[in-house]
Structure 1
Amino acid sequence: MEKQDELLIASYYALTWWAETLNQRHFESPAFDAMPFRDAFVKSRLQSGEGPIALLMPSLYVALVLPRETIFDQYASDFEAIDRQLGRFARNVKTTYKKEKEGNIAFTRHIRNAVSHARTEWMGDGARFHDENTKTSEAFSAEIGIQGLNWLMSALQQIVLKRVRDIQIRQASDNNA
């Protein structure tokens, strides 16, 4: 297996753990409440409802930055499909990117850049992302609510899972040859 695939798979484990933790409302569970925690302040903040926001940034990093560097070209049409659907969730979208004037906004690329360069601002009901190309003075910004971010994470998780399944099929084929 290629080193990039090993990194992607290990990251997928973390992404899945984060998603399952949120889906199962782990931070609100009696098991989490009973869990010894070295930092009581962090535990209390996670229990107070900040868990989803706290896990969102590393989840977006795993789901966007690593795949962009490893599998983006191979699954470009999947990312484009996410971009088209994500437009339904985005608010206050502003772009000066010339290629995007027709309405085809590369949300995943812009959100990836915003996450990579720490240009993300948390709002009470979601996040604001800002991307800019300092060489061309082009800029993008958009707000996406929690529902849209949850949808995005699920859709991105499916792309990584698709890659994992492709690897499994390839390995099974290699073992049978």
Structure 2
Amino acid sequence: MAAIGVFCGASRTLDGAWLELARDFGTELAKRGHVLVTGGGRVGLMGTVAQGARAAGGHTVGVIPRGLVDLEVADHDSDELRITRGMAERKTAIIDRSDAFVILPGGLGTLDELFEIWTTGSLGMHGKPIVIVDVDGFYTGLIEWIRGLTGPGFVRPEAAGIVTVVGSGREALDVLER
């Protein structure tokens, strides 16, 4: 059993297909016996992945900053809900609590979290696996751009290579379980 930190969108206006992806991922994560660690919101993909995990009997951990408790509508159904002073403390708590990370589709907050764990991982500050779920090419442009930064030397090839990119949540879990 591993604690898997999942970074994803928390928008209230997302299309149903994205929510289905999150629900299915949370369900599969729980069925495989893993703990879900999220940003502690109960809306968007973030809330849906936690609902899916709990519906399948999984244990969920939410970490949310005090200032976002009302904005994101804190997931009070979490088995563990930690309220932090701010976003930086939230990210640190999620990184510390997780054994691995999965990135589902999301916006600026998700990208901030992805770059935090990618950067700290590339600097050797953690050796935890990072898997990006690139459904329907959601992250393809970003991944290609980052890899393109290796040519002129802005990103070391080994730093670009610490992230695994897959096409589904099931594949992400398969990678983490190898």
Which TM-score tier does this pair reach, normalised by the shorter chain? under 0.3
Q: Structure 1 length as normaliser, TM-score?
A: 0.28
Q: TM-score, normalised by structure 2?
A: 0.28
Tell which structure's C-alpha radius of gyration is larger: 1
